Homo-oligomer: A and B are copies of this chain.
Amino acid sequence: MGPRWKGQGAEAKAIADPMSSIVSQLQSSFLQSNSTGLLSGSIVLLEANIEKTDLLNRACFGRPIISAQKNGQWFQFSLEEAFYLTYSLKCINLVDENQHKISIEEVWKHMVSQRENFPNLCRAYCHLRSKNWVVRSGSQYGVDFVAYRHHPSLVHSEYAVLVLSLEGGSNGNGRLRVWSDYQCTLRLCGSVAKTLLVLYVQKHSIVDVESPSSLDSYTIEERTITRWSPEQCREDSS
């Protein structure tokens, strides 16, 4: 199943303005202005001026929050998004409610404490983003993420992504353990024209999971899972 572009000209638009360059622009703009995000529980809030708002919207990071404020626009990021901007793109710093900068080690610890499965989800998020996929929440379809080839206004999401841990146990999200779950998930993916992409994350046992740098040593195995249709293998009758 290839990308499903939204209307004529969408593909050309996407090719003319690749996601990698939008993210680069965002990165340098945020770096220049020394941007900070407020880490609060399991979300991160960031105030953006008009230029940054435009870049965040085009790169599809976070979601704008409706507020009464006139000059700035607030954005809310998920933990994975905030970590990617902080650790991978290094273009924002996170602060606590007293405006004190939080070190990346503390950020990591906090995020892991908020969500047991955070290291795997974060590794998967960064993996897809680093390959210039636009990654959004997949909760609507009961998966961890959906991945778009370009901005969601131009193209439908192509992959429904489940992040599983090869270690199993409490590290995983408890999905795809029985056949009926596969059947359910694949049937749903089929009906919304997405391919099921399973990312198996494996961490090396020697790694210090307390440190965010452990993330780089996680390996990812990518598998797309599809229903096998016996029809496809029939002898050509023509």
Contacts and interface: CB of A to CB of B under 8 A. Distances in A.
Nearest to A162: B180
- Number of this chain's copies in the assembly equals 2
A142 B191 contact: no
A173 interface: yes
A101 B185 CA distance: 42
A80 B69 CA distance: 63
B177 A141 contact: no
A191 B186 CA distance: 13
Interface string A153-193: 00000000000000000000111011011111111100110
B174 A175 contact: no
A175 B181 CA distance: 7
Nearest to A140: B187
Contact of A183 (B142, B180, B182, B183): B142
Given A141-B184, A142-B184, A174-B181, 18 more contacts: A139-B183, A140-B183, A142-B180, A142-B182, A142-B185, A142-B186, A142-B187, A143-B184, A144-B180, A174-B178, A175-B180, A175-B181, A181-B181, A181-B184, A184-B184, A184-B185, A184-B188, A191-B191
A139 B181 CA distance: 10
Contacts of A175: 178, 180-181
Interface string A29-41: 0000000000000
Nearest to A144: B180
Interface in A3-31: none
Interface size class of A (residues with CB under 8 A): 20 to 34
A71 to B, nearest CB: 31
A143 B185 CA distance: 11
Contacts of A186: 142
Nearest to A186: B142
Contacts of A192: 191
A142 B176 CA distance: 11
Contact of A187 (B141, B173, B182, B183): B141
Indicate the member of A144, A187, A191 with the most B CB atoms within 10 Å.
A187
Which 8 A-B pairs rank lowest in CB-CB distance, beginning with the nearest?
Answer: A142-B184, A142-B183, A174-B178, A188-B188, A142-B180, A191-B191, A174-B177, A184-B185
Contacts of A140: 183, 187
B173 A180 contact: yes
